[in-house]
Structure 1
Amino acid sequence: MTREMGRRLTAELLGTCLLVATVVGSGIMAQSLTKDFAVALLANSLATGAILIVLITILGPVSGAHFNPAVTMIFAAKRETSLIEAIAYILSQLAGGVLGTIAAHLMFAMPALGSAEKVRTGVGQWFAEAVATFGLVMVIRGGLRHQRAAVPWLVGLYITAAYWFTASTSFANPAVTLARSFTDTFSGIAPASVPAFVIGQLFGALAGLAVSTMLFANPKDLQREQ
């Protein structure tokens, strides 16, 4: 492994860790301060959107700030990263996500890892995860094509909104989904519910790739095709 690759993998691990720590930690804090689910969800969504803006801004120049196996898969499919690099990224993201749950639990004096009991299932929620991830890929690729500097804000604002317009509250990230199965708190998801969520996310990501490739193609590439 080169030093540069080590920097990139560290950025992916740390970024995913802080993202999950924010999702889980803000959920625990919200749940301890209010019994109103809507207020707790608002706090959770605002914290998640805010940390995404920060993390993508500071770590984007290092690794591209994927923090999400579905996003890495899309870049690999477009041959913008190699298969070996993509696998390394995904492993770092998965490890970072679990570390994020551990960090959140330890901050609130809870056991390092638990097992979520909150069942999240049904066609509506699976479809919601496909929609959420489809939109995320569209936002990322559209932002990179038209307004690269705005990508941190675009992603943060999109995820904040998607918490509210999707039935699943927009996990849209296999690493985050897995990590949230280890917390039996506000943001948890039962381990048995994880596979269907991830399948929905991957289908959504592939659909986002297909549509974004068509919509955001470089005019020069379109001329070559003609």
Structure 2
Amino acid sequence: MLPLPRRLIAEGVGTTLLLSTVVGSGIMAETLSGGNVALALLANAVATGCILVVLITALGPVSGAHFNPAVSLAFLLRREIKPAHAITYIGVQIIASIIGVVLAHLMFDLPALQISTHIRTGPGQWLSEGVAAFGLVLIILGGLAVAPRAVPWLVGLFITAAYWFTASTSFANPAVTVARSLTDTFAGIAPASAPAFIIAQIVGAISAAFVAGIIFKGAE
């Protein structure tokens, strides 16, 4: 296992680039789509899926490429990461997510930090976030068990699909949710809507860790 500082730098850089892509591609998509929300969402989803493949391929061997407190929590529950390291990972992920949002804003000459006004709420969206986080964590754990080299593609493709099959457009990440509350652009979520999303994501991740332990037992 590589030294913790190197892993944290990888997590920070990866999470920053992920959020810059999520928010930046949303801004670009909304600007160029001429009001066509479906086209904007497609561009946002493809960009996010692509960057996940790239980042996980490049940084996975260094830090595990969690970029997501829900993923770190799942590995903690499986005792594959120490509690202190998991806490540190999550702290870095949250800070780096906010930095990524700021970078996206600055690249498009927008105010560095904003408060989102995009309300995302209701049982359907909460359920969607639980399903998205469950699917993401299950795919990661299953992929590591049966096809480790395919994990970057599995994650990228799952998130691209989940942008479309979930009512919430698949945040599936507590750090991303916090950071996206600080952008009033296409990717934003109002701060009041964020806690329910985060709770649903955590429940989904815990459920996936449990189910993966049953499905993939002995497959590693």
Question: Do these two structures clear the TM 0.5 threshold for a shared fold by scoring above it?
Answer: yes
Match status 1:109 vs 2:112: no
TM-score w.r.t. length of structure 2: 0.98
The residue aligned with 1:207 is: 207
User: Is 1:166 the equivalent of 2:166?
Assistant: yes
SS at match of 1:218: coil
Q: 1:67 to 1:203 in 2, by over 3 A?
A: same
Paired letter, 2:13: L
After TM superposition, give the deviation of residue 219 of structure 1 in Å.
Answer: 6.0
**SS of corresponding position for 1:171:** coil
Distance 1:159 1:33 in 2: 22
Give yes or no for contact 2:128–2:170 (8 Å, CA) kept in 1. Answer: yes
Name 1:191's counterpart in structure 2: 191
Q: In structure 1, what is the Cα distance between the partners aligned to 2:144 and 2:29?
A: 34
Instruction: Work out the number of aligned pairs and report it.
Output: 218
User: Equivalent residue for 2:9?
Assistant: 10
Structure 1 portions without partners, runs of 5+:
221-226
Query: Which position in structure 2 is the counterpart of 1:30?
Result: 29
Are 2:145 and 2:219, in contact at CA under 8 Å, matched by a contact in 1?
Answer: no
- 1:69 aligned onto 2:69: yes
Q: Which moved more, 1:187-196 or 1:3-12?
A: 3-12
TM-score, with length taken from structure 1:
0.95
1:20 partnered with 2:19: yes
Amino acid at match of 2:126: W
**Residues 90-144 of structure 1: per-residue CA shift (max 9 Å, x gap):** 0000011000000000000011100000000000000000000000011001100
Match of 1:186, SS? Answer: coil
Once residues 212 and 110 of structure 2 are traced to their aligned partners in structure 1, the CA distance between those partners, rounded to angstroms, is 42
Deviation at 1:210, TM superposition (A): 1.1
- The offset of 1:4, in angstroms, is 1.6
> What aligned pairs does 1:41-120 form with structure 2 within 5 A after superposition?
41-120=41-120
In the alignment, the residues of structure 2 paired with residue 132 and residue 16 of structure 1 have an alpha-carbon distance, to the nearest angstrom, of 18
What are the Cα deviations for residues 124-177 of structure 1, in whole angstroms up to 9, with x where unaligned? 000000000000011001100000000000000000000000000000000001
What is the match of residue 127 of structure 1? 127
Judged with a 3 Å threshold, the aligned counterparts in structure 2 of structure 1 residues 42 and 87 are, in CA distance, closer, same or farther, namely same
Percent of aligned pairs with the same amino acid = 60
Measured in 1, the distance between the counterparts of 2:189 and 2:195 equals 11
Find runs of 4+ consecutive structure 1 residues off by over 2 angstroms. none
Q: Of the two, which has the highest radius of gyration?
A: 1
List runs of 5+ in structure 2 lacking aligned partners. none
